[in-house]
Amino acid sequence: MIRRFSLIFAFLLLVNSAHARDERSIKDLSKALAALAPDVDPTEAELFSETAHMKARSLAKEYRVVLNPEFTVFLVNIGKRKRGWCGHWAQDLGARLKELKLKTLVLHWGEAYPNTSSENNALVVTARNQPFVDGILLDAWRRAGRLFWCRVKKDDEYEVEQHYGHSGITMWKENMTWSVWLQEYQTAQQTPQGGNALPPR
């Protein structure tokens, strides 16, 4: 009986800790978005951040993620899951964020190492008329539903390899076909021509 209460208490501590991390991340992302440019609406930045975090968490449940993102990809590849590749995460998160009909922020589709086993797809958000590489990367796949975000140029997990330290040269590039889809607000259900042929991860 004591063991059962101990396990329940430990579980509640973990849930509370995860919630606190999300709350801190929501506030920090909101501030980072508002700081992209003077004309970014802080209210829009706050709504965007909260929506992105909540959708990432809900996708983890929807995809029935177990262990880590790579194992979920394996389950998709053997037919045990329908969705879970990085492109699925980016597409479904992007569809939800499109519904916000952003006015001061702009969504872009980023890809790193395309057509390789290391390929990753994620979203990038910028201020209006701001270059893709100056934006903030949003990756729900990488941490299995806990939204990872950072400046595109600061993502040291996806940069040109260097033997000693970090190169500081990002591998993230914009996929214009999918960026156009993200920026069309008519309906979140439309996908680009060939949109079902998502990247292999």
Q: What is the pLDDT of residue 22?
A: 87
DSSP state letter for 159: B
Q: What is the pLDDT of residues 102-112, one digit of tens each?
A: 999 999 999 99
Q: Where are the domains of the chain?
A: 26-183
Q: What is the pLDDT of residues 26-59, one digit of tens each?
A: 999 999 999 999 999 999 999 999 999 999 999 9
* 195: pLDDT strictly greater than 70: no
Beta strands in the chain (DSSP E): 105-112, 120-127, 136-139, 148-151, 173-174
Highest mean pLDDT among 7-16, 60-69, 123-132: 123-132
CA distance 110 to 139: 10
39 phi, psi to nearest 5 deg: -90, 5
CA 110 to chain CA centroid, nearest Å: 10
Q: What is the pLDDT of residue 188?
A: 45
Q: What is the pLDDT of residues 149-158, one digit of tens each?
A: 999 999 999 9
Q: Which amino acid is at 172?
A: W
Q: Can you say whether residue 123 is alpha, beta or left, with left for phi > 0 and alpha for psi between -120 and 50 degrees?
A: beta
